[in-house]
Structure 1
Amino acid sequence: MPEIKSIVRESVVSAAPSTSLTDIAQLMEDESVGSVVIATEERPQGIVTDRDIALAAAARGDDPETATAADVMSEDVVTVDADSGIFEVLRAMTDANVRRIPATDADGELAGIVTFDDFVVLLGRELKLLGDVVEAEIPPYEHS
């Protein structure tokens, strides 16, 4: 079974639980990401998404200068082993109803992140390759 190593992003944007939502939002903008893994000593503790920040600030009226990542992060973060197979990761994402999942090494430290978008890109590449194989095996279309 293919492993996620082929698509895992090893450069993970992370921050401490005490980081303000303003700083998390700035980090997201600077790094062009929609989520930040919240970690303590390189161990994932949760995830904050752009949606979490919007809901905290707009829906609940939290002050983004004083509210922290710990206040809004998804707790009990689901992780996968960096050596996991693609289908295993997809099952974990489905079971947890998440679009992003941190990958950890054998010591439980943050090793990367895989997102739903990464799987969409992978699927697109695989479908292109399959299309190329099929196209090579069929006679050319004749147009009149």
Structure 2
Amino acid sequence: MTSTPYTVADVMTSKVIAVTPSTGFKDIAAAMRRWKVTALPVVEGEGRVVGVVSEADLLPKEEFHEHRPGLIEQMRRLGDTAKAGSICAEQLMTAPAVTIRPDATLPQAARLMAGRHIKRLPVVDADGTIKGIVSRADLLKVFLRTDEELTEEIRRSVIGRLFPISHDGITVTVTQGVASLTGRVRDDHLIPMAERLARSVEGVVDVRCRLEVRNTP
């Protein structure tokens, strides 16, 4: 009923800074600093993603720089102590990488990030080849849509389609992303649907539905 939802491909960053499995520790740290990112995909061959190396993967080397862990601590933190002695991306990276497809919806990407507690996802095609990077900030780009854009989309894709006869009697206003629907309609069962569809428009923050049923003689 509404227009096609935004996908990861619509908001992702296509220019990707990546490293290879053989990239050294210092080069990884330098790339993170230069490009102001907290994680880098690790790719091999023609760009197939094999892992992700993050700041968290680099920190154990500094943490254990002056402190040699005892046997109990080594057993309790096997992953961290192993990374403290690592010198290249292949040894440091988290694998397999958590990735997402370009055609995934923004809610799918948001749920994956929240569930895995990660800030960015490599975007890959069916062969696992990297196509971009999507971050938490990218997912919020839809909320930069103007009130005018949102008003037009709600009028066209929600009101115009649900109420082809009575749409002229419905007013749609959007202020700071909050949509208000007012007016009278013939079919009361369509009112909850109108609110739900308006709320699903990408960039809408909230919906105030004040539609009423038109009294008929």
Common fold, TM-score beyond 0.5?
Answer: yes
Residues 82-135 of structure 1: per-residue CA shift (max 9 Å, x gap): 111111111222222211111112322000111112224x25415x636x8227
Work out which of the two has the higher radius of gyration on C-alpha atoms and give 1 or 2: 2
Q: Work out which of the residue numbers 20, 36, 41 in structure 2 matches 1:37.
A: 41
Show the counterpart of 2:52: 47
- 1:113-132 aligned at under 5 Å gives the runs 113-120=133-140, 122=141, 124-126=143-145, 129=147
Give the match for residue 64 of structure 2.
Answer: 60
Mapping 1:96-135, distance limit 5 Å = 96-120=116-140, 122=141, 124-126=143-145, 129=147, 133-134=174-175
Question: SS at the partner of 1:18?
Answer: coil
User: Bigger relative contact order, structure 1 or 2, given CA contacts below 8 A and separation 6+?
Assistant: 1
Q: How many Å apart are 1:43 and its aligned residue?
A: 1.1
Q: Distance in 2 between matches of 1:59 and 1:71?
A: 17
Unaligned runs of 5+ in 2: 66-83, 151-172, 181-217
2:104 is matched with: 84
Q: Give the secondary structure class of the aligned counterpart of 2:103.
A: coil
Give the SS at the match of 1:133: strand
The alignment's C-alpha RMSD in Å is 2.6
Q: Counterpart of 1:77 in structure 2: which amino acid?
A: A
Q: Is the 8 A contact 2:14 2:133 kept in 1?
A: yes
CA distance in 2, matches of 1:33, 1:9: 12
Task: Work out the CA distance in 2 between the residues paired with 1:110 and 1:90.
Answer: 19
Distance 1:71 1:60 in 2: 17
Partner of 2:164: none
Q: Give the length in aligned residue pairs.
A: 132
- Which residue in 2 is equivalent to 1:141? none
Q: Which residue of 1 aligns with 2:17?
A: 13
Gaps of at least 5 residues in structure 1 are: 139-144
Q: TM-score, normalising length from structure 1?
A: 0.77
TM-superposed deviation, 1:74: 1.5
Matches of 1:32 and 1:72 in 2, distance apart? 19
Task: Tell me the distance in 2 between the aligned counterparts of 1:56 and 1:37.
Answer: 19
CA contact 1:47–1:77 (8 Å) conserved in 2: yes
